[in-house]
Structure 1
Amino acid sequence: MLPWKRVLRPLTALLLSAAAVTLPATAAHADTAPHSGWNDYSCKPSAAHPRPVVLVHGTLGNSVDNWLGLAPYLKARGYCVFSLDYGQLPGVPVFFGLGPIDRSAAQLASFVDRVRSATGVAKVDLVGHSQGGMMPRYYLKFLGGAAKVGALVGIAPDNHGATISGLTKLLPYFPGATDLVKATTPGLADQIPGSAFLTKLNAGGDTVPGVHYTVIATKYDEVATPWRSQYLSGSDVHNVLLQDLCPLDFSEHVLVGLSDRIVFHEVANALDPAHARATTCASAFS
């Protein structure tokens, strides 16, 4: 084995494990099995919450495990909630979001149309974690999604790439390493800062007209780093640092999407700004 491959293998393992180590391996997925009422295609949005919420998991997540906390939280507050699996690689079960991100965005486009058709609405709202907060921007910008989406809420989204605490900066020192990542896990390669995908996504501005954007970041993020790179620039953007809401919240990249009820409270505010209530440390008990 070439010496650089001895280094690359553990580096790749770290890339792959950044989210997976905290996710249970669930065999069933929300698109095919009911889970506390979400992905209920008979759900009809209420006057209070007229747009269904589509949840978009992160890299190595799936439509169930990523949303065991947030989906019931939103469902209990009267939302029609849906989630999808995307970015599947052949022969890789459970852990998704690894395929080319432009193709994943096309899968999201198809899923949104399915939800719109079933619920009879013109627009949905999107809430995504990690890659799931960034990938929908491709859908909005290049696949006609802006006309079908009211709001995009990104929880720890890697909008300008993920250095994984600087690990991706080591790739150029190992000839062929980047090509290997592209060949085996193109969805990871697309998230490396400076990739062709991210260059295209962010060219000409971060946002598109007609969509309200919210970014919720944590300064303890170890994946979508540096954490300020998660923020978006645009006329209808609300960038939020979790620790400005609750200085005592030490959640990192994975926990902010999986179980942080302070984050969930702020997501609810973003989905219904007309009835927003201040998010504080006490929101963990709301």
Structure 2
Amino acid sequence: MSHRPVRPAPRSRLIRRWATATVSAVTALALGFPGTSVAADGPTPPGAATASAPEAFLRGTLQPDASPPGANDWKCRPTAAHPRPVVLLHATLTNAHMNWSMLSPLLKEAGYCVFAPNYGGRPGVPFKATRHIPDSAREIARYVDRVLDATGARQVDLVGHSQGGGVLPRWYLRFEGGTNPAKPSRNKVRRLIGLAPSNHGATLSGLGTLTTELGLNPTVSLVAGQAYADQMVGSEVNTTLDRGGDTQPGVDYTVIATRYDEAVTPYRNQFLKAGPRAKVRNITLQDICPQDLSEHISIAYDSNALQIVLNALDPAHARSVHCRLSAPLIGG
């Protein structure tokens, strides 16, 4: 896989790019976004890619059950070049449209069948993925089975952000039928790619440590949802997962982390250790693109990180990452 960094651009050029991205995002937010509501299960055109996290956040708030562009075409059939559908799993307190309006159309245009469920929340509520993680994992198990039945594929690849790339899919793989350790060839999942995944718990830059030590996680979860407590360092969910090792046989894992993560902290908590018959690649974004300033939110709208995702999905045709400036909260 090729991840060669390019020579950093001059500082003045980086500043201009960042300023342009910021002005564009602010202008977009000020003007608003016309559009009609899209059914949760219906496909949307692949060409309407969203360039920044703030734009996607606003659209996803106004249309919380909409599919991201390019996703949820239930008539899609995988090709020989891309035989596995890609299932995108969003982060806590987001939804599919908020999280995947940049990656989903990129994957669709690259020839993948793309599916992006809204999980762990009620229809019409923008902020989903808040339920108890084992409950959400069962929801994802049913969804993956539906994708396999509809497409005729034997396996899927999972790409997730935060909860969606960490404890949620790991729980599904281990406890809800995503893998068959005795016969890995029968696994329903071939690859798991996590963007800033909550693999071993979070401290929220110390806030989570404080609520844990004060015994406030149940109280916070009344507002933020049980998934908050489930993802704190030392939670029962994390302890149960870690007791059995990080990986499942036959699954290829990729972790993409940023040093500037402010949620899943310390960021090395995201990394996995390969167990028997599993492969793990732990990647720190700044080791490839030193000027990349993405943090936990904007990594899903970071073109550098998303090229690494594309490379992980199809390593035989990996492309060099031509590093661009990616700003906090905005991406690029």
Q: Secondary structure of the equivalent of 1:269?
A: helix
CA contact (8 A) 1:20 1:60 kept: no
Aligned residues: 261
Q: Which residue of 2 aligns with 1:239?
A: 282
Alignment of 1:197-216 (within 5 A): 197-216=237-256
Aligned residue among 260, 271, 277 for 2:302: 260
Aligned residue among 280, 295, 319 for 1:277: 319
- Structure 1 Cα separation of the partners of residues 106 and 212 of structure 2: 43
CA contact (8 A) 2:92 2:164 kept: yes
CA contact (8 A) 2:293 2:325 kept: no
Aligned residue among 177, 184, 200 for 1:144: 177
In the alignment, is residue 38 of structure 1 matched against residue 71 of structure 2?
A: yes
**1:181–1:21: structure 2 CA closer, same or farther, 3 Å change rule?**
farther
- Structure 1 Cα separation of the partners of residues 56 and 231 of structure 2: 20
Aligned residue among 155, 177, 193 for 2:216: 177
Unaligned runs of 5+ in 2: 1-52, 180-186, 327-332
Aligned residue among 149, 153, 164 for 2:193: 153
CA contact (8 A) 1:59 1:97 kept: yes
TM-score where L is the length of structure 2: 0.74
- Structure 2 Cα separation of the partners of residues 283 and 121 of structure 1: 37
Q: Secondary structure of the equivalent of 1:237?
A: strand
CA contact (8 A) 2:92 2:163 kept: yes
- Structure 2 Cα separation of the partners of residues 248 and 93 of structure 1: 36
Q: Which residue of 1 aligns with 2:65?
A: 29
Alignment of 1:216-235 (within 5 A): 216-234=256-274, 235=278
Q: Which residue of 1 aligns with 2:121?
A: 88
In the alignment, is residue 100 of structure 1 matched against residue 132 of structure 2?
A: yes
- Structure 2 Cα separation of the partners of residues 252 and 106 of structure 1: 29
Q: Which has the higher contact order (CA 8 A, sep 6+)?
A: 2
Q: Which residue of 2 aligns with 1:251?
A: 294
TM-score where L is the length of structure 1: 0.86
- Structure 1 Cα separation of the partners of residues 99 and 81 of structure 2: 26
In the alignment, is residue 67 of structure 1 matched against residue 103 of structure 2?
A: no
CA contact (8 A) 1:217 1:227 kept: yes
- Structure 2 Cα separation of the partners of residues 138 and 173 of structure 1: 25
CA contact (8 A) 1:30 1:83 kept: no
Unaligned runs of 5+ in 1: 1-18
- Structure 1 Cα separation of the partners of residues 252 and 76 of structure 2: 24
Letter in 1 for 2:57: L
